[in-house]
Amino acid sequence: MAKKSKIEKYIQPGELPEFLRKIADALEGGASEDDAYLVMIEGFKKLKINIRNEYGHTAVKVTAKPMPSSMSSEKEDLADADSASPTEQDSESKPSYKSLKKRMKASFKVIFKSVHAGTLPPPEVVEEFMADSRTMVSFEGHGDEYYDEFIAACEKFQQACNNSDVQAAHNACDEINSITAHCHSRYK
């Protein structure tokens, strides 16, 4: 799968609203046959639209980064790892520590921004972060002495989200962030 796809078009300034409507339609219901090139924006992780006026024409550049297709299989692997015995968890189904931490960083960023904006994060992000946290503490030699405290804070966060308590989720998120900062200052 390509890392990102691009569309670059030069259109008349009056055609811009129609082009933006086509993008909106492709996002809502999929690209039409007439605009099949817009299929690249379906299921995006990141979408950038750059519009510039250049010498009487409008330059439109659309860049779409697709959602990783391996994400669903990684979630299944992590769910299987949670239910597996400890010796099975050490098998090849466990993601690499580096990729796990990278994914955790991205999901925690969404969590942190959500609770600091006064809203609860999406449940699937919380679920992913919790599963990844449980997997992370199964790795030895990466701050083991912080694991119990980290998991306790994660469980407080999970409980706050389950109870729809934004303030408790905010406090638990800050606690997770503090524990992570202490651990990373020592081990990273």
pLDDT of residue 2: 60
Mean pLDDT of 31-51: 77
Sorted by where each begins, the domain ranges of the chain are 5-66, 70-187
pLDDT of residue 66: 80
Tell me: the pLDDT tens digits for 155-183? 999 999 999 999 999 999 999 999 999 88
Per-residue buried b or exposed e for 27-66, using 16+ beta carbons within 10 Å of the residue's own CB: eeeebeeeeeebebbeebeeeeeeeeeeeeebebebbbeb
**Torsion from C-alpha of 102, 108, 110, 112, nearest 10 degrees:** -150
End-to-end CA distance of the chain: 32
Whether the per-residue pLDDT at 81 is higher than 50: the answer is no
d(CA 169, CA 150): 14
Top mean pLDDT of 75-79, 80-84, 133-137 is at: 133-137
Q: What's the pTM value of the predicted model, to 2 decimals?
A: 0.57
Mean pLDDT of 55-83: 63
Residue 125 near residue 111, CB atoms below 8 Å: yes
Q: Which residue has the higher pLDDT, 67 or 60?
A: 60
Query: Tokens in use for 176?
Result: 């997770």
Residue 8: Cβ-neighbour burial (10 angstroms; 0-12, 13-18, 19+): exposed
Tell me: the pLDDT tens digits for 108-138? 999 999 998 999 999 999 999 999 999 999 9
- CATH superfamily of the domain spanning 70-187: Cytochrome c/b562 (1.20.120.10)
Query: Tokens in use for 59?
Result: 């330059």
Tell me: the pLDDT tens digits for 24-33? 888 888 766 7
Residue 121 near residue 115, CB atoms below 8 Å: yes
Strand, helix or coil for residue 13: helix
